[in-house]
Amino acid sequence: MGSTFLRRTATSWLMAAAGLVALLALTQLPAWASAANPGYGAPPTTSAATATITVTTFADELTTNGNCSLREAIQSANTGSSVDGCAAPGTANTIIRLGAGVYALAIAGANEDANQSGDLDLLAAMEVDGRGPLSTTIDGAAIDRILHIHSGA
């Protein structure tokens, strides 16, 4: 009876210790993963200013009508100046916000690198932020690739 009690107590302590080690390992995993792989875990902090451009239409356009299309928002981020209804981000890091819905690229053209037709040409650093993969879609309509990220972007 005494040895059974000791075995159970020892087993309980070993299981508790193993659980504690596992818990400590899990709490340290995000810090370890971020240090080992900067693409994982919390994003790096930056002291640079951030500008946000909110897209207000699903249309693919570069026209002066007061709207801010996805193409116009990218053009604004590329140039640092206002384009139609898209505010000028200046030299700040730019976040382009998309609402839920489908943004269909409709201006045909290929092999053009000025964001005027076909794919969306990213010439500067920016972040395109939708409402999630099941809510926000950019449809390339098979006219070209969707995003062309140039060197330096």
At residue 91, the pLDDT reads 83
Domain span including residue 81: 50-149
- Give mean pLDDT, residues 84-92: 91
Q: Do both 70 and 144 map to the same domain?
A: yes
pLDDT confidence of residue 25 = 46
Condensed to tens digits (0 to 9), the pLDDT of residues 91-137 reads 878 999 999 999 999 999 888 999 999 999 999 999 999 999 999 99
Domain count, the chain: 2
pLDDT at 3: 60
Does residue 99 belong to any structural domain of this protein?
yes
Strand order in the sheet with 50-54: 50-54, 93-97, 126-129
Q: What is the pLDDT of residue 13?
A: 54
Structure tokens at 131: 């409402």
For residue 45, being part of any structural domain is answered with: no
Quick one: tokens of 38? 């900067």
Query: Are 67 and 130 found together in one domain?
Result: yes
3-state secondary structure 54-79: ECCCCCCCCCCCCCCCHHHHHHHHHH
- Please tell me whether residues 32 and 59 are part of one structural domain: no
CB 64 within 8 A of CB 50: no
